[in-house]
Structure 1
Amino acid sequence: MSFFRHRHALLPALAATVLVTVAGCSPADGRASASVPSPGAKVTELCRNLDEALPATVDGEDRDDPEPASELTAGWGGVAIILRCGVGQPPKMIDPKVANGNDPDALAGGVDGVDWLMEQQDDGTHRFTTAGREAYVEVRVTDGRDSTGVLIDLAPAVKEAIPEGIAS
């Protein structure tokens, strides 16, 4: 017997599978997720201040916080832009190749008064981590957009909420 003779018997089963899959999806199911950092009390307070100062829109994307809900994470445009406050110091931040500009996947730079370690990840996303601030703030940009607008939009909140200094 050929597959084509019995394909009509498979169609109802396939249709039922598709319906169950679609019915199980909801807007909440499609939300981005981000692991929540667990910094000390001082950094947590700074991150709460940052959460209050963050803009409603970043690079044209509306705020859409990831799950689980936390004052230490924020998002815009689903998975397009994810911010985590209170992360640990990135290993590349102390790598002399980065400081000398010899690492093509990590560069140091400043945008509107906020210094960042800028890293391209293996999956093509970009990760930016603040430098010279009392808390490390990480921003991931995943959709190939020009991230300059993202950093420009976030700079005022970072400057307001996270003082310059050495992260603890």
Structure 2
Amino acid sequence: MSVLPRRPFRLTSVLLATALAGTAGCSAGGSGSRPVPTPSAQAAGFCRALHERLPRTLDGLERDSAGPDSDFAADWGDPAVQLRCGVERPELLTPGSEHYNPTAEAVEVDGVTWLLEKQDDGYRFTTTGRKAFVEVTVPGKYAPETGVLTEFAAPVEKTVPSEL
């Protein structure tokens, strides 16, 4: 499994939030039903462990039970911050795909590297260099969108092993 080149920024959460604050008017995701991934057997084990460690509240947002009940997805707030575990490799990281970009931007937040993808309403962040892909979609309403990544770093670090 290939990972982003080792150019992720080592920014603290505050610096990372500041770096994206200028693009806060552009946003990702939104509320509504989220598709639940169907991870491989190996990734499913990591995702179940991650699910057990996810916070009840996220940056002051309550966890929502409106979406399908799953160990592979969770939502907080309205519009929803969505986490999906066991998603497919992002196209930006897939050689041969139309959108492949081996120099795509990534950031490191508290030991976890995230691919950044600007969306129409916020950002989508996907872990890289781990044995399962974890995707977090954050609507622009919660700008700076990177704020929630600090709350996901420890659970991801403890449950989804690094590929290295």
- Shared fold per TM-score greater than 0.5: yes
Given that residues 99 and 108 in structure 1 are in contact (C-alpha distance below 8 angstroms), is that contact kept between their aligned partners in structure 2?
no
Report the equivalent of 2:75: 75
Query: What's the CA shift for 1:98?
Result: 4.4
Structure 1, gaps ≥5 residues long:
1-30, 101-105
1:138 matched to 2:135: yes
More helix, by proportion: 1
Structure 2, gaps ≥5 residues long:
1-30
SS in 1 for 2:89: coil
Aligned mates of 1:90, 1:142 — CA distance in 2 = 19
Match for 1:130: what amino acid?
A: T
Match for 2:77: what amino acid?
A: G
Report the equivalent of 1:157: 155
Aligned mates of 2:46, 2:65 — CA distance in 1 = 18
Distance of aligned partners of 1:84 and 1:55 in 2 relative to their CA distance in 1, 3 Å threshold = same
Alignment of structure 1 residues 47-62 onto 2, 5 Å = 47-62=47-62
Distance of aligned partners of 1:129 and 1:65 in 2 relative to their CA distance in 1, 3 Å threshold = farther
RMSD, matched Cα = 2.1
SS in 1 for 2:137: strand
Match for 1:78: what amino acid?
A: D
Given that residues 66 and 73 in structure 1 are in contact (C-alpha distance below 8 angstroms), is that contact kept between their aligned partners in structure 2?
no
Match for 1:139: what amino acid?
A: V
Query: What's the CA shift for 1:97?
Result: 7.6
Alignment of structure 1 residues 9-158 onto 2, 5 Å = 32-94=32-94, 98-100=101-103, 107-121=105-119, 123-144=120-141, 145-158=143-156
What is the aligned residue count? 130
Aligned mates of 1:56, 1:156 — CA distance in 2 = 14
Given that residues 124 and 142 in structure 1 are in contact (C-alpha distance below 8 angstroms), is that contact kept between their aligned partners in structure 2?
yes
Q: TM-score, normalised by structure 2?
A: 0.72
Aligned mates of 1:50, 1:32 — CA distance in 2 = 23
Aligned mates of 1:85, 1:64 — CA distance in 2 = 16
Deviations 1:23-65 (A, max 9, x none): xxxxxxxx74110111111111110000001111212211114
Bigger relative contact order, structure 1 or 2 (CA pairs below 8 A, ≥6 apart): 2
The share of aligned pairs that are identical, in percent, is 44
Q: TM-score, normalised by structure 1?
A: 0.70
SS in 2 for 1:89: coil
SS in 2 for 1:63: strand
Distance of aligned partners of 1:92 and 1:65 in 2 relative to their CA distance in 1, 3 Å threshold = farther
